[in-house]
Amino acid sequence: MKRAVMKGFVVNDFEPQRRQFLDEVVPLVATGAIGYLEDRVHGIGQTGAHFARLMCGENVGKVLVVPGDAMTGIE
């Protein structure tokens, strides 16, 4: 049997440090010193296939489904 385990922290526990975090990290992301990966599809109709890719481990980085068409913004 396969299992998924998620461990982490509760964001609200660190709310007092939010401003400090933003002040330090936003400039690093803006300059490219810190990067991130997104596996993005456009259109709610892509959700099922994208979820299946996620469950098979075929995704790269954060999985996002953007509602609507990439060109028009309308689904």
User: For residue range 36-52, what is the model confidence (pLDDT) as tens digits?
Assistant: 888 888 888 888 888 99
Structural domain containing residue 40: 11-66
The helix or strand, by DSSP H or E, that contains position 41, with its residue range, turns out to be: strand 38-42
Mean residue pLDDT of the chain comes to 83
Task: Give dist(CA 59, CA 8) in Å, integer.
Answer: 21
Task: Give dist(CA 27, CA 31) in Å, integer.
Answer: 6
**For residue 75, is pLDDT > 50?**
no
Rg (CA), the chain: 17
Residue 4 placed within a domain: no
The encoded tokens of residue 70 equal 């990439």
Residue 5 placed within a domain: no
**With a threshold of 0.75, does the pTM exceed it?**
no
**For residue 61, is pLDDT > 50?**
yes
pLDDT digits (tens, 9 = 90+) for 22-40: 999 999 999 999 988 888 8
Residue 3 placed within a domain: no
Q: Based on the structure, what is the number of domains in the chain? A: 1
The encoded tokens of residue 14 equal 């660190």
Residue 42 placed within a domain: yes
